[in-house]
Structure 1
Amino acid sequence: MKNKLLILSFLFLNIVAYAQTFEAVLKETYLKFEKTEAPQEKLSLVNRLDMIAARYSDQWSAHYYAAYAKVVTSYLLEDEKQRDGLIDQAEQALNKSKTLTKTNDEILVLEAYIANARLAVKPMSRYKKYGEIFDAKLAEATALNAANPRIYFLKGQSVFHTPRPFGGGCKNAMPFFEKAIPLFAKASNGDLSKPYWGQDRNQYYINECNE
């Protein structure tokens, strides 16, 4: 099995090497990742994104999307150690991305997402520490670009999953999801150098609240 995985990794790296452009390879893998909800398929695509980041180590977006994919996938796993390990890797990948580009609202938003993923593993014991980091990062992102729809999507998602006695639930989450709608509509959804993730998930939560 190990040898098979090594062979598959080698073949994929060769495909990447001969692809027309870095952008095309990254986008193809990213779109496949977004289309599947199966944890094992997502983990497989996380590995592909890692290989792309290794092949194109000078590209900030390669590390950025490797980090993003790890955060998203962590929510789909059950084992706490596996989740935390994946989030550790996401943080490492984002730190590499930060060395290749100036800190901007998208970096801060993903840092907030990572903090929220940490919290989600053990909500009761981690709420205070990572809840404060989450809020602080989104506040920084808002100061840089209040029109970033992912700020409101993440706020809404956080509120949605917060128990009602603590101010959570659909009623309090919906204003954030609704605020994100026109901002997502204005964004380009074709250029990965300008992140546009979150729109489908934002609509998913709206549908959940409307049912």
Structure 2
Amino acid sequence: MKKYLLSFALALMSLTSFAQADYEKIMSEKIARIEVCKTPEEFQALSNDFQRIGSKESNQWLPPYYAAFSQIQKGRILMRNGNMQELDGIAAQAEKYLGTAQSLAGADNAEIHLLRKMAFSLRMMVNPAQRFMTDGARAAEELNIAEKLDAANPRIALIKAEDTYFTPEQYGGSKTKGLEQFKEALAKFNAYKPKTALDPNWGRAEAEYFISLSAEKNK
């Protein structure tokens, strides 16, 4: 009987090990696609993929996190193209995924609070004049929470640089200051180590892009 139980336990451990390896492989492949997706449709498909992974790996916070991030990236592309009418729905979907991620990861996860900030910013952009004091204030609150939880996080520095760079000067923005903040963000990227290979590690390319624009301008 003891021999049977030992064999069963070893077999179970082996299956769990294989399942974990399969999860990590699939997640790694999907995370790599974040850097190559260019259209709202591609990000929607990627979000769907992460959602499906999350439905199978219901104890993991990263699949719903990345599903939310893909939605937010979809919204940011639409925003840049002047297509604001879908942003409320996209933000709501992202917030739904983030609720799931937070229930698994806990309330003290800076990466989740940062995405909440980005979702509220999408909502604000539907009508900045009317929503600055509501969604804009909530975005600022989430960013503040994220920074208190993980001040060394380069993605927090990146989003702060974005806000400074793209905010009109009459409202406190500055392209010059924003570029300096992108440099600070890149320095943090150089020093920051994700906890695991699957943990959030996006944003470096954007910081490098804006710094390169500054370098070209100064030639």
TM norm structure 1: 0.82
Give the stretch that moved more between structures: 62-71 or 23-32. 23-32
Cα distance, 1:209–1:195 mapped onto 2, change above 3 Å? same
**CA shift in 2, pair 1:80/1:192, >3 Å:** farther
Quick one: distance in 2 between partners of 1:192 and 1:90?
23
Per-residue CA deviations over 1:80-119 (Å, capped at 9, x if unaligned) read: 3422211111000000011111222222212112122222
Please tell me whether residue 82 in structure 1 is matched to residue 86 in structure 2: yes
Give runs of aligned pairs for residues 1-211 of structure 1, distance below 5 A. Answer: 20-77=21-78, 78-103=82-107, 104-188=109-193, 191-210=196-215, 211=217
CA separation of 1:155 and 1:192: change in aligned 2, threshold 3 A: same
What is the CA distance between 1:209 and its match in structure 2? 4.0
Deviation at 1:189, TM superposition (A): 6.1
SS at match of 1:62: helix
Give the share of equivalent positions with the same residue, in percent.
28
Structure 2 CA distance, aligned partners of 1:113 and 1:203? 20
The change in CA–CA distance for 1:62 and 1:152 in structure 2 (over 3 A counts) is same
* Superposition deviation, residue 59 in structure 1: 0.9
**Distance (whole Å) between structure 2 residues aligned to residue 80 and residue 55 of structure 1:** 33
What RMSD, in angstroms, separates the aligned Cα atoms of the two structures? 2.3
Conservation of the 8 A alpha-carbon contact between 1:116 and 1:158 = no
Consecutive unaligned residues in structure 1, runs of 5 or more? 1-17
Which residue of 2 is the match for residue 13 of structure 1? none
Query: Using a 3 Å threshold, how does the CA distance of structure 1 residues 155 and 71 change in structure 2: closer, same or farther?
Result: same
Q: How many residues align?
A: 195
Separation (CA, whole Å) in 1 of partners of 2:190 and 2:134: 33
Deviation for aligned residue 1:205: 2.5
Contact 1:187–1:196, Cα closer than 8 Å, also in 2: no
Structure label with greater radius of gyration:
2
2:46·2:67 contact (CA, 8 Å) conserved in 1?
no
CA 1:193–1:30: 2 relative to 1, 3 Å: closer
Equivalent residues of 2:68, 2:93 under 8 A apart: yes
How far is the alpha carbon of 1:207 from its aligned partner?
A: 2.8
Displacement over 4 Å in runs of 4+? none
- TM-score scaled by structure 2? 0.79
**Residue deviations 1:175-204, cap 9 Å, x none?**
321211121112236935432111111222
* Rounded Cα–Cα distance in structure 2 between residues aligned with 1:97 and 1:169: 34
| Residues 59-94 of structure 1, C-alpha deviations (whole Å, 9 max, x = no match) | 111111111111111011254342221111100000
Separation in 2, partners of 1:192, 1:127: 37
* Contact 1:149–1:180 (8 Å) recurs in 2: yes
Letter in 2 for 1:207: S
